[in-house]
A and B are shown apart, each in its own frame.
Chain A
Amino acid sequence: MRVVILGIGNLLLSDESVGVRALEALRDGHDVPPGVSLIDGGTSGMEFLEDLEGVDLLIVLDAIRANRVPGTFIRLAGAEVPVFFRTKLSPHQIGLSDVLASLELLGRAPREVVVLGVEPLTFETGMQLSAPVAARVPDLVNAAVRELDAHGIRLDPRVMPVANLA
């Protein structure tokens, strides 16, 4: 089984980057088994066409605008996913939706797509997340881990080397 976890967002626009920040936290905190790829997609598009081609499960981490309280965790799956890409919930939907549509045309789209995200507070210029969104990063990471778990893939927390604890 091939799985891709794709964090997307612009690191320079505060809460916009929550997907990438969650991806980094996931990568730093876990041993990732073979078959699972973690990709920092930034705001790109066509560059990751090949990475997403024919995967069994694609988990997208992103800021999602759904008119909820900032910091609200949001999970979209099944029929909600195409809606996510059709409407302007995410600032990146053009690049990624183009890639997915292209793969569909080639008959090599991901078999299952799940979108995990957080309602942003602000897209101000800056490299820090706002407090309510930063507080949700661990939840986003755990949600991704649970998603994998449901597909029979275990992600073990990385044991920190003793030297780093000193």
Chain B
Amino acid sequence: MANRITIDPITRIEGHLRIDCEVDGGKVTKAWASGQMWRGVEQILLGRDPRDAWAITQRICGVCTTVHAIVSVRAVENALKMEIPLNAQLIRNIIISAHAIHDHIVHFYHLSALDWVDVVSALKADPKKTAALAESLSTWKLNGPHEMKAVQDRLKNYVQTGQLGIFTNGYWGHPAMKLSPEVNLLAVAHYLQALDVQRRANKIVAILGSKTPHIQNVAVGGVANPIATDSQSVLGVEKLLAIKGYIDELADFVNNVYLVDVGAIGAFYADWTAIGKGVTNYLSVPDLPLDTKGTKFAMPGGYIQNGNLAGYKPIKSFDDAYFHQGVHESAKHAWYEGKKPLHPYKGETVPEYTDFQDDGKYSWVKSPTFYGEPAQVGPLSWVLAWAAAKYEPGMRHLNRLIGIVESVAKTKIPLDALHSTIGRHAARSVVCATMVDNLQQQWQLLVDNIGSGDTKTFNRPEFPKGEVSGVGFHQAPRGVLSHWVVIKNGIIKNYQAVVPTTWNAAPRNANDVAGPYEASLIGTPVADPEKPLEVLRTVHSFDPCLACAVHVVDKENTETVKVQTRL
């Protein structure tokens, strides 16, 4: 008998999702991804000064404030064909990298690890064996038996208070949980250590961005950080050295803990390399611009169709016509008016709400396509582009990760294994480690540029009479983010944000082809429809970072179970 599982939103940050699955014979046979929130932010921007847009767009999402601020100023600068000072690029790059590292660490340890790690099982672990295992994998300083014992004691006390808190909604003892008590304890120890480490990344953003969670320092035309090497109140030697210290701490953790944990845990769940593939068109963009025009980038990106790396097409600059012309959005299955897919400059946001119709409209998320086809975005898309582009800094970390998996699993792991649920986690850790290296480099470039006597951080924007349009893109932690702006006489005439979750959580498109979440869920095994852990694993692997409620409904649409969980 087929069961229907519904994962529903409970908070109101933009982009919240509902996932519906039909389960038959223990596997998902049909899936729908539905955005449950009306996207009206674009309407707020109409008629405003383009220089103010970034401060408003960084409120779109609670988790990705920084990325919307950055990409908004990039869009306006692109429309004005502006160059921005090199210092401004580098300062933005450091903020972007630190934010991404923060996001990836928090996603793995605090938002998704508990799908794979059984916290309660960790209580049964032998701390000495845990330490021995950890020390065989990595030289990290906090892997010793005393540390593991202390973590286990802390966990015992916490569980004994009866308030499991963050751990309340876990599927402890679920048959799909496969780690030994020792590996579970190791993961819990690193969960706690990650709570400490993530703030180093946050401090970098705070020093340069003036504060977090909402940065204050970006501006159309550059950044508002005055630079002087001999003053403490502005960006000078002291602050730069503090940032360097934080970068080094992040590098230690990401290389010796995060990447290693993903490899080890991935090895125990090797069967998940065959689950969750879905859409194999992969879109990414280059990022960390190295010049004032945005034509040279530290990290490459581009498009891969049907998983064919040999056919990789690079995206080369902020002005790249191949990217600008390729993006359209369809509202055929979304609660908006409009029959034909539209380019974002022509995008409309006129609501047309119906009920949830399986074969009709069922989402507030439009369906973006790249040259007419759905595309998966995120760290996996980026890593595959790097493989195609032979980007050595990224390949080094990928090969290291694969080496760890192979040594623990004692089997060969082909590159194709990345097209999977566990592959998305693997790719995220590779991106994070590669970002750390790039963060080091961006810091050095900034120090060198300031050392050469360049202290410029801002070029004043000038708005022409008449109409101009531009796009800003960014390889955000969750994938390609783009803002599209049309400016008339210095005022915003149209504004569209095509966000990573829109690409991945897209409903069926104009040709009724399923989006990445939907496609990836087909065939996912579900051992117990009342505890759809496996569905959550695949959805979480995309990093939607949302809160959800799971409802399980049988074929006759009678609700049988209502479980709240974290998405």
Contact = CB atoms under 8 A, between A and B. Distances in A.
A49 B43 CA distance: 33
A94 B566 contact: yes
B547 interface: yes
B84 interface: no
A44 to B, nearest CB: 4
B166 A102 contact: yes
A91 B214 CA distance: 19
A44 B213 contact: yes
A12 to B, nearest CB: 5
B555 interface: no
B538 to A, nearest CB: 20
Contact of B110 (A12, A43, A102, A106): A102
A132 interface: no
B427 interface: no
B165 A46 contact: no
Contact of B13 (A43, A102, A126): A43
Given A47-B202, A50-B199, A94-B566, A105 B12 contact: no
Contact of B154 (A16, A42, A107): A107
Interface string B384-416: 000000000000000000000000000000000
A160 B258 CA distance: 51
**Of residues B62, B154, B198, B212, which shows the largest number of chain A Cβ atoms within 10 Å of its Cβ?**
B62
B11 A101 contact: no
Contacts of A127: 44, 56
B59 A11 contact: yes
B66 to A, nearest CB: 10
Interface string B150-161: 000010001000
B195 A10 contact: no
A12 B60 contact: yes
Contacts of A31: none
B195 A12 contact: no
B40 interface: yes
B192 A106 contact: yes
A57 to B, nearest CB: 21
B96 interface: no
A125 interface: yes
A102 B166 CA distance: 7
Given A43-B62, A88-B10, A12 B214 contact: no
A98 to B, nearest CB: 6
A76 interface: no
B110 A10 contact: no
B212 A47 contact: yes
B40 A125 contact: yes
Interface string B191-221: 0100100110010000000001110000000
A95 interface: yes
The 5 closest A-B pairs by CB, nearest first: A43-B62, A125-B40, A101-B165, A44-B213, A94-B547
25 contacts: A10-B13, A12-B56, A13-B12, A16-B12, A42-B213, A43-B63, A44-B65, A45-B63, A47-B202, A47-B212, A48-B213, A49-B199, A50-B199, A91-B12, A91-B13, A94-B566, A98-B166, A101-B166, A104-B165, A105-B158, A105-B166, A106-B195, A107-B154, A126-B44, A127-B44
